[in-house]
Structure 1
Amino acid sequence: MKRDFSPQDNRTERRFGEHRGGSCIALIDGRFLMWLAQQGATGATGESVNRQGLLNLLSIALSQSGLDVDLRRIYWYSDRPDGLVLDDQIVRLVQTHDADGGASLIRSLGHDLKQLAQQHACDHVLVASDDERFLALIDDAQLGGLSVHILADESARNMPQMVRTDPGWARLLAQADRRVVVNSQVLADMLQGKLPVGMGLTVEDVEELRQSMHEVITAWWADEPEDLREDLRDALQVSRGIPQEVDRQLLLRMRQRLTRALSLPEKKMLRETLRAVVAEPAPHATPALVGLPPDTDD
């Protein structure tokens, strides 16, 4: 008998841990992030914070958690101005935790989370805080259709242990749609401005990734007909944007190569590599020798 698939059947087809897309806003408690960086990291993180690599680092952490999202903006909640004015980052000044026990942070971050949910301003929110008082606020946002994820260190990979050692933090993590894990040492290095590149990767990792991108793009480029190559060359001379169909093809090939989605900075690197490959001069064919008799064996 032929089965009639209903919408409910389609929902059950969804695979556990699949990649999800959409837009994302990050709500980051600066005090908590400093604490997170100290977990398992060698060396003190100090009092000063360098947020310049934060957006790229969080983009990679989201991607590695199966969230192929566009991290559009970071809200940074802190009790001290750091003097940094960075693109796509907005500072919210709150009172010190010692002064009010975190009540100012709860009001400010909680208000922003509620507004994002009510205005349907994004698809995902990444929260960096371990305050259990956010539990009800996160639940309300999720009931409104927002996916809420929580930033954590490697200890979140062992939830049974977390339940025993820090039950309040475990309850908050369990409420999240996904737990976005960041390496404590990499986070500490980023906050101190020690990362060699702005992607949260070592120089060796970046070069290996760039080489993989070049191989994938070169193989794709070699298979393209010459007329389509010319069209793409012309398009890139007119605009910095990559045609959507080309972009989708290359993103899919890189996902298959890496078995994961690319983060936002990695996507930018892929597009820069494509432009470099397209701009390379075409190899000249060896001219035919006209009028010479064919070689004959003696």
Structure 2
Amino acid sequence: MKREYFSSFKQERRTGESRSGSCTALVDARFLIWLAQQNANGAVGESINRQGLIGLLSHAMAQAGLDVDLRRVYWYTDRADGMVLDDQIVRWVQSHDVDGGASMLRALGQDLTELAHQHACDHVLIATDDERFLSDIDAAQLCGVSVHLLADESARNMPQMMRSDPGWGRVLSQADRRVVVNAQFLAEMLQGKLPAGLSIAPTASVENLEEVRQIITEVITAWWQDEPEDLREDLRDALQVSRGVPQEVDRQLLLRMRQRLTRALSLNEKKLLREVLRSVVFGSASAGNPAATSSDFPVDIDG
């Protein structure tokens, strides 16, 4: 039997704290507004603008050492905002004033359980302070999912947190990582003060996408040339039967790009990396077979 690509793949050294993989975010809208009100300068109302949400959460996770692909946000709310946004799913729940958060607890808990049981992602980011989620978080972690909690700056001092708010402290202490978001920045995003579609990411040393494409191509080409032919064949087979890139390959290339650019790739740059990978892999294959071209194979556009 032909061995799987991963089985003989030499994994990259993991001496740092950075972790990668796919991620889904479960966000309690009421909690996010409360979080924005903490230490923010100026009044924060109840209006919500979600257009910069994925960028902001991705940035906060990167700051926590999580170089993840945030693929989808589930938004739990009792208020219609009229927005239909890519990669964001609205879950309608009753007002917290009506049922004390019971319907939100049920909806978010069910989604977390399903994600964990289906192994649908490597990481889940949760934005809520409800202590009743402790058992759901623990069960998801036992299924192998890394569960992270969104928090404000107070989470940087957990001993103080346990004294001042023990319930919230217990929830945060259960998390694999506490993802700290700047309250003022969050408040501005919720009020729509950031440009629509803004991708919030660390300042890049290379800002032109074509320059990034060139660097990605150089990195992938050098990596591909160093791979033995049997592993090349395994990867070609894997890419032909799946739209996704094998996880260990993805992780190694993301790490190499982080080292080259001294920053994590943005979501669009990650998609570009996977597009270039397919081009290099199948372009190399077509060199010995003129009938085969990269256009014969699907392009990974879903991340």
The alignment of Structure 1 onto Structure 2 pairs a total of residues equal to: 241
Structure number, greater radius of gyration: 1
Tell me which of 194, 207, 210 is aligned to 2:207: 210
Structure 2 gaps of 5+ residues are 1-12, 226-244, 276-303
Hey, which bits of structure 1, 4+ residues long, moved more than 3 A? 211-221, 247-254, 257-260, 265-272
Tell me the amino acid that sits aligned with residue 262 of structure 1.
L
Question: Shift of the alpha carbon at 1:263?
Answer: 3.7
Q: Partner of 1:290 in structure 2?
A: none
- Are 2:216 and 2:273, in contact at CA under 8 Å, matched by a contact in 1? no
CA distance in 2, matches of 1:135, 1:249: 33
Q: Partner of 1:200 in structure 2?
A: 200
Give the stretch that moved more between structures: 209-218 or 185-194.
Answer: 209-218
Indicate how the Cα distance of structure 1 residues 111 and 218 shifts in structure 2: closer, same or farther if over 3 A, else same. closer
CA distance in 1, matches of 2:62, 2:95: 32
Indicate how the Cα distance of structure 1 residues 128 and 219 shifts in structure 2: closer, same or farther if over 3 A, else same. closer
Q: Aligned ranges for residues 1-298 of structure 1 at < 5 Å?
A: 15=15, 18-196=17-195, 198-200=198-200, 205=203, 210=207, 214=211, 251-252=254-255, 254-256=257-259, 259-265=262-268, 267=270
- Are 2:58 and 2:201, in contact at CA under 8 Å, matched by a contact in 1? no
Question: Shift of the alpha carbon at 1:47?
Answer: 1.8
Question: Shift of the alpha carbon at 1:45?
Answer: 2.3
Q: Give the SS at the match of 1:210.
A: coil
Indicate how the Cα distance of structure 1 residues 267 and 40 shifts in structure 2: closer, same or farther if over 3 A, else same. farther
Tell me the amino acid that sits aligned with residue 194 of structure 1.
K
Q: Percent identity?
A: 67
CA distance in 1, matches of 2:216, 2:133: 49
* TM-score, normalised relative to structure 1: 0.69
CA distance in 1, matches of 2:199, 2:146: 25
Question: Shift of the alpha carbon at 1:43?
Answer: 1.7
- Are 2:44 and 2:187, in contact at CA under 8 Å, matched by a contact in 1? yes
Q: Give the SS at the match of 1:43.
A: coil
- Are 1:63 and 1:262, in contact at CA under 8 Å, matched by a contact in 2? no
Indicate how the Cα distance of structure 1 residues 65 and 266 shifts in structure 2: closer, same or farther if over 3 A, else same. farther
CA distance in 2, matches of 1:163, 1:169: 8
Tell me the amino acid that sits aligned with residue 147 of structure 1.
S
CA distance in 1, matches of 2:33, 2:139: 27
Give the stretch that moved more between structures: 125-134 or 190-199.
Answer: 190-199
- Are 2:20 and 2:251, in contact at CA under 8 Å, matched by a contact in 1? no
CA distance in 2, matches of 1:135, 1:101: 17
1:184-239, CA deviations, whole angstroms, 9 ceiling, x for partnerless residues?
1111111112124712369xx46x65179949957996xx99xx9xxxxxxxxxxx
* TM-score, normalised relative to structure 2: 0.68
CA distance in 2, matches of 1:102, 1:56: 27
Indicate how the Cα distance of structure 1 residues 184 and 170 shifts in structure 2: closer, same or farther if over 3 A, else same. same
Tell me the amino acid that sits aligned with residue 24 of structure 1.
C
Question: Shift of the alpha carbon at 1:260?
Answer: 4.3
- Are 1:53 and 1:199, in contact at CA under 8 Å, matched by a contact in 2? yes
Question: Shift of the alpha carbon at 1:265?
Answer: 4.6
Indicate how the Cα distance of structure 1 residues 177 and 91 shifts in structure 2: closer, same or farther if over 3 A, else same. same
Q: CA RMSD in A?
A: 3.6
Give the stretch that moved more between structures: 172-181 or 262-271.
Answer: 262-271
1:87-119, CA deviations, whole angstroms, 9 ceiling, x for partnerless residues?
111101111111111111101101111111111
CA distance in 2, matches of 1:25, 1:193: 23
CA distance in 1, matches of 2:47, 2:263: 34
Indicate how the Cα distance of structure 1 residues 45 and 268 shifts in structure 2: closer, same or farther if over 3 A, else same. farther
1:56-97, CA deviations, whole angstroms, 9 ceiling, x for partnerless residues?
111111122111211111100001111111111110111111
Q: Partner of 2:285 in structure 1?
A: none
- Are 1:213 and 1:254, in contact at CA under 8 Å, matched by a contact in 2? no
- Are 2:21 and 2:251, in contact at CA under 8 Å, matched by a contact in 1? no
- Are 2:148 and 2:176, in contact at CA under 8 Å, matched by a contact in 1? yes
CA distance in 2, matches of 1:37, 1:185: 7
Tell me the amino acid that sits aligned with residue 166 of structure 1.
D
CA distance in 2, matches of 1:267, 1:95: 37
